[in-house]
Amino acid sequence: MIRATLAVVSLVFATLASAETKVPTSQVEIQLGFAPLVKEAAPAVVNIYAKRVVETRQSPFQGDPFFQNLFRDFGTTRPQVQNSLGSGVILSAEGIVVSNYHVVGMATDIRVVLNDRREFAARVLLGDQQSDLAILQLIDAPKDMPHLTLRDSDTVDVGELVLAIGNPFGVGQTVSSGIVSGLARSGTAAGAGQGYFLQTDAPINPGNSGGALIDINGDLIGINTRILTRSGGSNGIGFAIPTNLVAQFVAQAKAGNDTFQRPWAGASGQPVDADMAESLGMDRPGGIVISSLHEASPLRKAGLAPGDVILAVDGQPVNTGSEMIFRMSVAGLGSEADLTVLQKGRPQVVRVSLAAPPEIPARETITTGRRSAIPEVTLSNINPAVIANSRLPLGAEGVVIEDPGPSGARAGLRPGDILRAVNGEETPDTKSAQRALRNAGSRITLAIERGGQQILMRFRL
- Tell me: the pLDDT tens digits for 71-83? 555 555 566 666 7
C-alpha distances in angstroms, 88 versus 46, 103, 133, 144? 5, 9, 10, 17
Give the pLDDT confidence score for residue 190 in this predicted structure.
40
Residue 102 within a domain = yes
pLDDT at 170 over 70: no
- The catalytic residue among 84, 102, 219, 234 is 102
Among the ranges 19-23, 422-426, 442-446, which has the highest mean pLDDT value?
422-426
Alpha carbon of residue 445 to chain centroid: 38
Identify whether residues 69 and 96 lie together within a single domain: yes
Among the ranges 79-83, 228-232, 233-237, 286-290, which has the highest mean pLDDT value?
286-290
Phi-psi domain of 425 (left: phi exceeds 0; alpha: psi -120 through 50; beta: other): beta
Which residue, of 85, 108, 138, is where some domain finishes?
Answer: 138
CATH number at 246 reads: 2.40.10.10
Q: Is 132 a catalytic residue?
A: yes
Q: Length of the chain, please?
A: 461
Residue 262 within a domain = no
Identify whether residues 68 and 115 lie together within a single domain: yes
- Confidence class of residue 63 from pLDDT cuts 50, 70 and 90? low
Which residue, of 228, 254, 280, is where some domain finishes?
Answer: 254
Residue 235 within a domain = yes
Identify whether residues 379 and 444 lie together within a single domain: yes
Give the pLDDT confidence score for residue 13 in this predicted structure.
38
- Confidence class of residue 172 from pLDDT cuts 50, 70 and 90? confident
pTM of the model: 0.82
Give the pLDDT confidence score for residue 193 in this predicted structure.
43
> What is the residue range of 62's domain?
42-138
- The catalytic residue among 128, 132, 219, 417 is 132
pLDDT at 169 over 90: no
The domain tally of the chain equals 4
Identify whether residues 53 and 134 lie together within a single domain: yes
Identify whether residues 249 and 279 lie together within a single domain: no
Residue 199 within a domain = yes
Judged by DSSP in three states, 68 sits in helix
Identify whether residues 348 and 271 lie together within a single domain: yes
CB 299 within 8 A of CB 274: no
Give the pLDDT confidence score for residue 441 in this predicted structure.
84
Distance, in Å, from the CA atom of 160 to the CA atom of 377, rounded to the nearest integer, reads 52
- The catalytic residue among 84, 209, 234, 380 is 209
Q: Is 147 a catalytic residue?
A: no
Sign of CA dihedral 403, 406, 407, 411: positive
For the segment 133-145, the average pLDDT, to the nearest whole number, is 95
Identify whether residues 322 and 278 lie together within a single domain: yes
CB 352 within 8 A of CB 336: yes
Give the pLDDT confidence score for residue 2 in this predicted structure.
38
Distance, in Å, from the CA atom of 157 to the CA atom of 167, rounded to the nearest integer, reads 26
Residue 358 within a domain = no
Judged by DSSP in three states, 148 sits in coil
For the segment 173-196, the average pLDDT, to the nearest whole number, is 71
Residue 455 within a domain = yes
Q: Is 209 a catalytic residue?
A: yes
Which residue, of 353, 384, 409, is where some domain finishes?
Answer: 353
- Confidence class of residue 106 from pLDDT cuts 50, 70 and 90? confident
Residue 456 within a domain = yes
CB 220 within 8 A of CB 198: no
Identify whether residues 133 and 83 lie together within a single domain: yes
